[in-house]
Structure 1
């Protein structure tokens, strides 16, 4: 497993430094505010504004610390929409690491965060009445994704200069093919090559204002 160390980002929330890649799991300017801005606000919330479906399928590339899963489970309870959350992770964190992370600020949130992490891998788990989770301990290269299945994609892989293989056309196509028409793809990355590749896959691409400390992010719609 990769070596990681806990760091505190500018907004006070934790992230992890992958010492083998010399790359953090989240923005050093604020892990919590980045996840809320990029994935929840411009991904899940945007989809909910456009659709009234009661059951939403989300795919996350990179379970990591579980922060995106926690925020999504909380939003599922707030909106009372059922979310089916599929997430991939090649190197799950040890309990000694994730138990130290400071994302949960109430006893209820701490319990939810623990249930998300302690849910079995490679098996669908009902975490709450509104949040069902499938954590897959595998790579995107090896994963089998159902075509036209997901409403929202959180693409939260390490940066292209650290893990370029995860941003190549072949894998982007695999993810896009797993999205439904009308599906939303969001990522913190705003590289020109990514935008060109998503457009070539027939997605409608927007460059949006990024979270604090980052100028831009990308959202794309499968049309």
Structure 2
């Protein structure tokens, strides 16, 4: 898949896919979008109540932005983080280098870890830090066997529904519901009504939240709201 490196408004880089006319992140700021949608809206509420390892599933590893920001958070978290991420189209090393990660990362001390994220073997559990375990999974979500009642946090970061409709089906969100632990949170930048209806059909409890810069709304969903995270 051909991609082009593009700058975003907060100084970080994203990728543009000409064949889809789609960016990997918001052009208003890749880092601020990731922090707002995934870490602040999903990870932080779960960490606030966590007493044991927090298990995270990311749909779309992409440039590794969500992963590196989560790794950074693990440095100060009171529990360990186990991070699984699924990617159908892993980026070649040359494209990763072209992201200019020294500008991509707000904390330059993370550059070494960013490189380790991308160099880590696929389909293996790799401990990058004492409290951060990474497992990159190649292939399609729909054909990936996920453990039941397992994940506390799900970052749903697929391309937009009109660009990648097979990723936004009732069946996909039912699959993720089964993989989610009681009380788990799923977040996405997407605010489309069809997306929210698919989530509800799968059993998720859905709410609208203010979106990141440049976007009015985003979506957060919870499995079994009254059941605490274990």
Question: Under a length normalisation based on structure 1, what TM-score does the superposition of the two structures give?
Answer: 0.96
Q: Tell me the secondary structure at the aligned position of residue 99 of structure 1.
A: helix
Q: Post-superposition shift, 1:99? A: 2.0
Q: Which residue of 2 aligns with 1:78?
A: 76
Q: Post-superposition shift, 1:203? A: 1.5
Q: Which residue of 1 aligns with 2:40?
A: 41
Runs of 4+ in 1 over 4 A off after TM superposition: none
Q: Please say if residues 190 and 217 of structure 1, whose CA atoms lie closer than 8 Å, have aligned partners that are also in contact.
A: yes
Q: Which residue of 2 aligns with 1:89?
A: 87
Q: Tell me the secondary structure at the aligned position of residue 147 of structure 1.
A: coil
Q: Please say if residues 47 and 77 of structure 2, whose CA atoms lie closer than 8 Å, have aligned partners that are also in contact.
A: no
Deviations 1:118-166 (A, max 9, x none): 1000111001111101101111121111111100000000000000010
Q: Post-superposition shift, 1:79? A: 1.5
- What is the RMSD computed on CA atoms of the aligned residues? 1.1
Q: Which residue of 1 aligns with 2:133?
A: 132
Separation in structure 2 between the aligned mates of residue 106 and residue 38 of structure 1, nearest angstrom: 19
Q: Post-superposition shift, 1:107? A: 4.5
Q: Which residue of 2 aligns with 1:196?
A: 197
Deviations 1:179-201 (A, max 9, x none): 01100010000111111121222
Q: Please say if residues 152 and 185 of structure 1, whose CA atoms lie closer than 8 Å, have aligned partners that are also in contact.
A: yes
Q: Which residue of 2 aligns with 1:153?
A: 154
Separation in structure 1 between the aligned mates of residue 44 and residue 18 of structure 2, nearest angstrom: 33
Q: Please say if residues 170 and 201 of structure 2, whose CA atoms lie closer than 8 Å, have aligned partners that are also in contact.
A: no
Q: Post-superposition shift, 1:80? A: 3.7
Q: Please say if residues 196 and 206 of structure 2, whose CA atoms lie closer than 8 Å, have aligned partners that are also in contact.
A: yes
Q: Post-superposition shift, 1:106? A: 4.4
Of 199-208 and 146-155, deviating more is: 199-208
Of 91-100 and 128-137, deviating more is: 91-100
Does 2:22 match 1:23?
Answer: yes
Separation in structure 1 between the aligned mates of residue 134 and residue 21 of structure 2, nearest angstrom: 29
Q: Post-superposition shift, 1:6? A: 0.2
Separation in structure 1 between the aligned mates of residue 107 and residue 63 of structure 2, nearest angstrom: 18
**How many positions carry a matched residue from both structures?**
221
- Residues 100 and 147 (structure 1), Cα distance of their counterparts in 2 relative to 1, 3 Å cut: same
Q: Please say if residues 7 and 15 of structure 1, whose CA atoms lie closer than 8 Å, have aligned partners that are also in contact.
A: yes
Separation in structure 2 between the aligned mates of residue 105 and residue 190 of structure 1, nearest angstrom: 27
Separation in structure 2 between the aligned mates of residue 117 and residue 157 of structure 1, nearest angstrom: 19
Question: Under a length normalisation based on structure 2, what TM-score does the superposition of the two structures give?
Answer: 0.93
Unaligned runs of 5+ residues in structure 2 are 225-230
Q: Please say if residues 57 and 85 of structure 2, whose CA atoms lie closer than 8 Å, have aligned partners that are also in contact.
A: yes
Q: Tell me the secondary structure at the aligned position of residue 148 of structure 1.
A: coil
